[in-house]
Structure 1
Amino acid sequence: MAGSGRWTKRSRCTPGTASTTPRTSPGSAIARGGDDDPGGSPNGGSAPPSGSSAPVRSHPVKPGRALPVLLAAALALGSGPAGAQGVPARARDLGIPLEGTPGRLDAITDVPGVTVGHVTIVRGAGKLAVGKGPVRTGITAVFPRGKADLAPVFAGWFSLNGNGEMTGTAWVDDYGLLAYPITITNTNSVGTVRDAVIEWGRTRLSDAFNCCLPVVTETWDGDLNDIYGFHVTKGHVFRALESAVPGPVPEGNVGGGTGMSCLGFKGGIGTASRRLSDRAGGFTVGVLVQCNFGQRRLLRIAGVPVGQEITEPRPCYEGPGLDSARAAERCPTGVTRPEKDQGSIIAVVATDAPLLPHQLRRVARRVALGIGRMGGIAGAGSGDLFIAFSTASTGTPGEHGVRPVRMLGEEWIDPVYEATVQATEEAIINAMLAAKTMRGADGYVVPALPHDRLKEVLRKYGRLAD
């Protein structure tokens, strides 16, 4: 299943018990949610705007409890002794040398029409109590043409390694169309999210032929999150859909990426884009990832073996009452068991280039090359699933239902491939740079990638100017 964890389908442990399964890609999260169910309806409501810090539901702090509550919230949001970081930075802010020309926002929303929404749910701290928390999870939604235009778009998908789930792909294979927004969540919430998306679309998709087969995909956040508590609800899904907007995309510990980690550090949501030259058509390619994969020793940034240079801090346990296994991995000693590549990555590729489904399948395959640049190997325990769509017109039916469509010539498609590889690599870096240290279930802490140390390593290898 997508992601590593104490209770993955590879583990024999039952919910609520400790596992001896090695931790590989421990998830982590950022806070935006309060209660499990924010209420709401498929017709929207009072959803906070995408990227806002407004809670799904706020709760007053009781007298005498303010300090512990605030300390727990600070650790959940990414501060504390395991390595706090300041204002989120992106790869280009740090001067990391990257190829290609980004769009104005350097985000998937540089593709005209694309909108993104997040709902982030963070609540509780301390010992895991299944059904109660701690909760570190969420949902991310991507609309190809925004909520105002739900007409199907051409799409194609690819599985690099199939230890994960992406619903609706049989429809994408046979019809080459995507008729719903793409939603990304945690492994155990796929069913809930799928049902809610169908309900949301019931009054919005008038064509029953295109009904009821949405693309919902996932990665595992069961290290930091009470994943068997099933805390994602229909109300959360409606809010994520209704909050989708154009513009800058929040990254790191947000939405579906809340409980995720990447290449031994905190991971989550990241995005980037590339604008092709006028000679290549001037098209835009945008990528959004939910990264929860890989081993630290393999991490490479700008070709530099960063994971071999930055070996500390490691994921670890904090707090009282640890059992003997967790006490042996208390901070700052950290988890010392061998890493395995049991994590996952989801990638969504958007473009305004006029591509047909068979071409979009090939574009989706190129995501794998960007992951490889970062040190990903698509391990046997990994769910690496990618989908690509084009916002170009699918044509208007004419006489006898014939649709005239445009297609980019095959001899012109290589710049789109190159842009996909470049944007995927940068989106992963952006996810890791935006993510902050997270403390979750049983006091498990996943450290953020330290920016200053990263810059030192890049300078050492001559990849960053002084």
Structure 2
Amino acid sequence: MKIRQRGVTIGNLPVGQKNCITDVAGVKVGHTTLEHEFGEEKYACTGVTAILPHDDNLFHHKVVAASYILNGFGKTTGLVQVDELGVIEAPIMLTNTFGVPAVTQGALMYMLKANPDIGVSTGTINIVVGECNDGRLNSIRELPVEPKHAVEAIQNAKMEAAEEGAVGAGKGMICFGYKGGIGSSSRVVYDTSSDTAYTIGCMVLSNFGQKEEFQAERYKATEENSVPAYPTPADGSIIIVLATDAPLGSNQLKRVAKRCGIGLGRTGSHFSNGSGDIVIAFSTAHKIPHVSEISVETRYMLRDDHAVMNDLFQAASEATEEAIINSLSQAVTTKGRQGETVYAYPFD
């Protein structure tokens, strides 16, 4: 269950109807989860998660985007072009560290099939993939993730409230020594000057922190000695995906993305040396055509000095914090390779 169902409220802003990144209209999430033995003493405990900014053709109708690196110990693909051009044109994919090449290939295969013009009558495409290391539960060296699993995750994407916890890319992840993985939350802010509501949705792939760092008292959590924490090092990673329908430019999205670090820090993280703490943000307010005959585009954006921008900053920090705690609250005890077991956090 989500942390709010346990009687814990994080922050002050109202949440969306689903309290999920899919509260941002049009956003879809899909998972492929791998959990099986293969070969001798080998175990797949991993998966793929796909986040689609909208249900139209993503290559021909791009969205404004940005990324922000809290700590750069990560193996992502595609972020250089995202920050250069300020757009995303493919599903945002999440997986384990060694699964990045296969997931990149799978997402590319899916997009090439949907767009026969790519690489022929038009340019190439930029695939965005984020990762965390699930090697404590998953036989990561055996490369169990294949391109077809990325395709399946994209095809499984839905606008309903997404599954959370030990699913998809989060299947083998560990957070603060307990079972982590996929978590999501959302916030709604109101611009009274225009009588408009904007939604911010967050999805995380949590795989960081030691038990001693977790700020359990913030979440009314009382740990039982009978449920041991996995002795993980402080280093780890988190991928944070932030979606909004607020009309923001790429630089504004980067500014909002920076505030995700506040929510991450509130849980107990200090962005360790070997941690890949990365934010990928996008806005669905405008769909940018891949081809246009006009030389000038007109878009509307919020003013940086308007009060609603501060509300969006607050929304990003609150939604990130709650998404991380939901990844713990929704996860279940999971067994992996060589009999390793990581327990769900004992909130109850």
Q: Deviations over 1:73-123 (max 9, x none)?
A: xxxxxxxxxxxxxxxx11111110222101000000000010000000000
Q: Structure 1 CA distance, aligned partners of 2:288 and 2:72?
A: 33
CA shift, 1:202, in A, is 1.0
Which one-letter code corresponds to 1:189 in the other structure? G
Residue of structure 2 aligned with 1:145, choices 28, 47, 54? 54
2:43 aligned partner: 134
* TM-score of the pair, normalised by structure 2: 0.91
1:323 aligned partner: none
Matched, 1:314 2:228: yes
Matched, 1:212 2:212: no
2:207 aligned partner: 292
2:111 aligned partner: 201
CA shift, 1:423, in A, is 0.5
Between the two proteins, the alignment pairs up a number of residues equal to 338
Which one-letter code corresponds to 1:177 in the other structure? V
Q: Deviations over 1:335-362 (max 9, x none)?
A: 5xxx531111001000000111111111
Q: Structure 1 CA distance, aligned partners of 2:104 and 2:133?
A: 17
User: Retained in 2: the 8 A contact 1:157–1:361?
Assistant: yes
CA shift, 1:301, in A, is 4.4
User: Retained in 2: the 8 A contact 1:116–1:142?
Assistant: yes
2:82 aligned partner: 172
Select the structure of larger CA radius of gyration: 1
1:258 aligned partner: 171
Alpha-carbon distance change, 162 to 310 in structure 1, aligned in 2, over 3 angstroms = farther
1:187 aligned partner: 97
Alpha-carbon distance change, 147 to 213 in structure 1, aligned in 2, over 3 angstroms = same
1:62 aligned partner: none
Which one-letter code corresponds to 1:408 in the other structure? L
Alpha-carbon distance change, 97 to 403 in structure 1, aligned in 2, over 3 angstroms = same
Which one-letter code corresponds to 2:169 in the other structure? G
Q: Structure 1 CA distance, aligned partners of 2:27 and 2:292?
A: 27
CA shift, 1:170, in A, is 1.1
User: Retained in 2: the 8 A contact 1:179–1:210?
Assistant: no
Q: Unmatched 5+ residue regions in structure 1?
A: 1-88, 317-334, 453-466
Residue of structure 1 aligned with 2:295, choices 401, 421, 424? 401
Higher strand content, 1 or 2: 2
Residue of structure 2 aligned with 1:354, choices 247, 252, 260? 247
* TM-score of the pair, normalised by structure 1: 0.69
2:156 aligned partner: 243
Q: Deviations over 1:168-190 (max 9, x none)?
A: 01111110110100000000010
CA shift, 1:451, in A, is 2.5
Q: Structure 1 CA distance, aligned partners of 2:298 and 2:246?
A: 16
Residue of structure 2 aligned with 1:366, choices 259, 263, 269? 259
User: Retained in 2: the 8 A contact 1:343–1:382?
Assistant: yes
Matched, 1:279 2:173: no
1:455 aligned partner: none
Residue of structure 2 aligned with 1:160, choices 40, 54, 70? 70
Q: Structure 2 CA distance, aligned partners of 1:407 and 1:347?
A: 23
Q: Unmatched 5+ residue regions in structure 2?
A: none
Which one-letter code corresponds to 1:373 in the other structure? R
